[in-house]
Amino acid sequence: MDKKAICLGELLIDFVSTLNGVTLRDAPGFEKAPGGAPANVAVGLSKLGIETYFIGKIGKDAFGDFLRMTLDKNGVKTDYLTSTTKAKTTLAFVSLTEEGERDFVFYRDPGADMLLDQSDIIDSIFSGSGVFHFGSITMTHEPSNSATFKAIQLARKYGYLVSFDPNLRPALWKTLDEAREKMRLGIELSDVVKLNEEEAMFIAEANTIEEAIQYLQRSYNLALVIITLGKEGSILIHQEKSLRVEGFPVHAVDTTGAGDGFVAGLISSLYMFWNDLRERKPIPDDTLRYAGRRANAVGALTTLKKGAIPALPTQEEVEIFIEE
Ligand code: ADP
């Protein structure tokens, strides 16, 4: 394979409660799980056979070393992962409902991942061709906001397909209007955008999914928009079409990273079409359905174990699961 994926953004450690259905205060213990949405996508892509690089920042501490080792072990290239003494590696504490839905608090004041700055983003990162994926958490503060936008501009300049998953975390923004405005800007600069239902309604200021779909089709010239619907699956919106793809029934333990696994599954399935998407060429329905089904499979498999990175499946696991 000569094309590569580059993911940029937050990288942190989740301490996940060992018991579902209790508050953080009542958690009997915690398991250490490396995460951060774009880092999860990077590992997902690497496990699915794509050459993948990660751009981010860790603290010069034991948790940072652990994160670098985790990316290395999963085959993600860490040449552009820098470290700092000015902040500690970001940590989060996570509690889960019985159904595996998460609630969390951050230890980030700021965390090292938010100190990514423009000098970390160099042209040579974007040699060759491929896909660039980013999220919105690094857009909440400086200097990582400017670093993120510099990377988006370079990715576009060098002809990369640009993929965006806002991953809305309302508590991290000063105001919701600022969050909406930044997310809209991120969408305008992207080719492929993945939203969950809540994000689609928020960005479109819509009351129904149909209204949100119309807004997204009318307001942007995107190659592909995906709205994920949790266990119900996903909707793929391409040009004037929207295709509904059913999810896989599984017994979810922890839904952390399902959306990130989904993105990795989708992008890797469209490997042969990255250039066509960038050029806004029509993609056949069968190809889109195949990509949506495989992305749903990766999302579903990611819910079967605690944490995101440890739960992301390999190519072989996905094939076996789809055939069952
Ligand atoms: P996000 O994690 O970004 O909020 P979703 O919760 O919609 O996104 O999950 C992303 C995808 O992961 C879904 O489209 C679906 O394919 C899969 N998924 C998520 N939760 C489940 C579940 N409980 N059972 C089966 N598949 C799931």
Condensed to tens digits (0 to 9), the pLDDT of residues 196-212 reads 999 999 999 999 999 99
Q: What is the pLDDT of residue 114?
A: 96
Task: Name the nearest CA neighbour of 165 among 203, 116, 214, 206.
Answer: 203
> How far apart, in whole angstroms, are the C-alpha atoms of residue 164 and residue 222?
11
- pLDDT tens by residue, 70-88: 999 999 999 999 999 999 9
Q: In which band, very low, low, confident or very high, does the pLDDT at 307 lie, cut at 50, 70 and 90?
A: confident
* List of residues 6+ apart from 316 with CB closer than 8 A: none
- The Å distance, Cα 170 to ligand 1 centre, comes to 19
CA-closest residue to ligand 1 atom 8: 259
pTM above 0.90, yes or no: yes
Nearest-angstrom CA–CA distance, 217 and 247: 23
CA-to-CA distance for 139 and 42, rounded, in angstroms? 19
**Residue-level pLDDT at 265:** 98
How many other CB atoms sit within 10 Å of the CB of residue 72? Answer: 12
Pocket-forming residues, ligand 1, beta carbon under 6 Å = 196, 228-231, 233-234, 247-248, 250, 252, 255, 258-259, 262, 296, 299-300, 303
Q: Could you tell me the fold of the domain covering 4-323?
A: UDP-N-acetylmuramoyl-L-alanine:D-glutamate ligase (3.40.1190)
Q: How far apart are the first and last CA of the chain?
A: 28
Q: Which atom of ligand 1 is nearest to the CA of 197?
A: 7
Alpha carbon of 113 to ligand 1 centroid (Å): 26
Taking the CA of residue 252 as reference, the ligand 1 atom at the shortest distance is 23
Q: Ligand 1 centre from 2 Cα, in Å? A: 30
* Complex ipTM: 0.98
Chain mean pLDDT for the chain: 95
Positions marked active-site:
257-260
Q: Which two tokens stand for residue 169?
A: 């975390």
Please tell me the distance from the alpha carbon of residue 79 to that of residue 64, in angstroms, as a whole number: 14
Tell me, what's the pLDDT at 1? 57
